């Protein structure tokens, strides 16, 4: 499991992600609420919409630093110039890796929110960071509190890392708060990395990314979560042109070019994000209302109720949700993510993006498990 002590470092050659191993290896069940990305949009959907023909695809394209039409599409979406965009394959995961690699050197100190998406911590450690943490409190709806950042930052901090929306709770952080975090970062010469992958569930295009808060901000995202386009692996980082260039140079060490068919399809997808997102948005809104009504009847659980996002992160009354999650999976065929993967063992993360009948049935099954009195 993660090391959470101050300035923890790990061995690079033994780096691994317990969460990713669990996510890839856990057996599939009938009711999967362990996901966080909307179900796959298919190639057949692209064809049926008349957006793509086989003749439009090609295997090999121009080599260089980014496929220009994709760079431009992401730049237009974010309202930045293309030289601020690093559009890479490998999703938001690779974008985070490049952003971190360009923002600090081994041995530097990195300050990361807690709880968070585990890969942000393990990736920073893999890149040699001394990781410190600051808390986002359940009692405060997991809001990003600049005071906590100010308490934890040191003169050695080179990068502050946050998610917006917050994974796991889906809490939204506004620009004013992020701006304050940016000022705290600037006071010690650090940057702020904002992983905005779940901000895409606002489904607005163009949208206001925190990249506009200053040159010391770096933003990462991808098409994988909100748009059900995980298969394209289309991710990007936004940064000052100078830092973006550094990321491109580091990316040369990881590979030569992206898969061209994926780049072509990503450009097409970027033209149709409103249409692709509309049914997902409708589904999330409907399921959010259902889960809120359901939670009203569930005193066994306390939860910050987000207005956006694909997940909620309830807290059980007990100390640890492991046995609850196990029973839920083994007896009721419902998968949720145990809170241990987010360093919050009393919680579990639940996905809101399953189709509504499946989601409703999964909630009923979670209710049955709660009625058995298993509290962790
Ligand atoms: C906060 C966050 N960032 C990045 C990722 C990885 O995204 P991608 O599939 O685009 O690599 C995830 C996946 O769950 C995530 O939750």
Q: How many CA atoms lie within 13 A of 184 on its CB side?
A: 22
Q: Which residues line ligand 1 (CB under 6 A)?
A: 36, 91-93, 117, 163, 167, 195, 197, 222, 224, 230, 235
Q: From the CA of 93, how far away is ligand 1's center (Å)? A: 6
> For residue 197, how far is its CA from the centre of ligand 1 (angstroms)?
7
- In this prediction, residue 41 carries a pLDDT of 92
* pLDDT (0 to 100) of residue 318: 83
Give kind and range of the element (H or E) at residue 158. Answer: strand 157-163
The answer to whether 338 and 346 have CB atoms below 8 angstroms apart is: no
Query: pLDDT below 70 — which residues of the chain?
Result: 1-9, 205-206, 374-376
User: In order of start, what are the domains of the chain with their CATH numbers?
Assistant: 12-41+274-371 (3.90.1150.10), 57-272 (3.40.640.10)
**Of 137, 141, 167, 138, the residue nearest 149 (C-alpha):** 137
- Separation CA 208–CA 199 (nearest Å): 10
Residues 143 and 279 sit within 8 Å (Cβ to Cβ):
no
What pLDDT, on the 0 to 100 scale, is given for residue 265?
A: 96
Which atom of ligand 1 has the smallest separation from the CA of 221?
10
**pLDDT confidence of residue 2:** 46
Category of 132 on φ-ψ map: left (φ > 0), alpha (ψ -120 to 50) or beta: beta
What SS3 state is found at 156?
coil
Specify the pLDDT at position 6. Answer: 47
Which ligand 1 atom minimizes the distance to the CA of 93? 11
Inter-residue contact 270 to 125 (CB < 8 Å): no
How confident is the model over 210-236, as pLDDT tens digits?
Answer: 999 999 999 999 999 999 999 999 999
DSSP calls for 165-203: SPTTT-----HHHHHHHHHHHHHTT-EEEEE-GGGGGG-
pLDDT score for 3: 44
Report the nearest atom of ligand 1 relative to the CA of 235: 10
**175 is written with which tokens?**
């620009």
Q: Which is it for the CA torsion 268, 273, 274, 276, positive or negative?
A: positive
State in Å: Cα 343 to ligand 1 middle: 17
Query: What ligand 1 atom has the least distance to the C-alpha of 223?
Result: 10
Sign of CA dihedral 128, 129, 130, 132: negative
Q: 115 alpha carbon to ligand 1 midpoint, in Å?
A: 15
> What tokens does 178 get?
């992020």
pTM of the model: 0.96
Q: How far is the CA of 161 from the centre of ligand 1 (A)?
A: 14
Cβ 269 vs Cβ 334: under 8 Å: no
């Amino acid at each position: 499991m993660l090391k959470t002590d101050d300035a923890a470092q790990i061995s690079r050659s033994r780096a691994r992600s317990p969460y990713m191993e669990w996510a890839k290896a856990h057996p599939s069940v009938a009711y999967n609420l362990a996901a966080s990305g909307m179900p796959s949009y298919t190639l057949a959907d692209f064809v049926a919409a008349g957006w793509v023909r086989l003749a439009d695809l090609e295997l090999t394209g121009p080599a260089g630093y980014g496929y220009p039409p994709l760079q431009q599409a992401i730049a237009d979406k974010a309202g930045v110039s293309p030289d601020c965009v690093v559009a890479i394959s490998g999703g938001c995961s690779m974008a985070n890796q490049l952003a971190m690699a360009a923002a600090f050197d081994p041995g530097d100190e990195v300050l990361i929110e807690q709880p968070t998406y585990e890969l942000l911590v393990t990736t920073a450690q893999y890149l040699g960071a001394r990781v410190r943490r600051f808390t986002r409190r359940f009692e405060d709806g997991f809001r990003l509190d600049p005071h906590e950042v100010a308490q934890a930052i040191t003169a050695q901090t080179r990068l502050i890392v946050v998610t917006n929306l917050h994974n796991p709770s889906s809490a939204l952080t506004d620009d004013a708060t992020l701006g304050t975090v940016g000022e705290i970062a600037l006071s010690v010469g650090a940057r702020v990395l904002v992983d905005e992958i779940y901000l895409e569930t606002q489904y607005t295009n163009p949208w206001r990314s925190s990249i506009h808060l200053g040159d010391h901000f770096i933003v990462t995202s991808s098409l994988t979560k909100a748009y059900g386009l995980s298969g394209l692996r289309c991710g990007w980082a936004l940064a000052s042109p100078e830092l973006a260039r550094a990321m491109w140079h580091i990316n040369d060490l990881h590979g030569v070019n992206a898969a061209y068919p994926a780049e072509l399809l990503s450009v097409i997808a970027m033209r149709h994000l409103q249409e692709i997102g509309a049914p997902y948005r409708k589904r999330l809104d409907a399921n959010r209302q259902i889960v809120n009504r359901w939670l009203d009847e569930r005193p066994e659980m306390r939860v910050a109720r987000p207005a956006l996002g694909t997940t909620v992160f309830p807290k059980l009354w007990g100390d640890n949700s492991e046995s609850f999650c196990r029973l839920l999976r083994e007896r009721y065929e419902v998968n949720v993510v145990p809170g241990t993967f987010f360093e919050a063992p009393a919680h579990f993360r639940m996905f809101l993006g399953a189709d509504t009948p499946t989601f409703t049935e999964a909630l009923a099954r979670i209710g049955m498990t709660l009625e058995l009195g298993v509290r962790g």
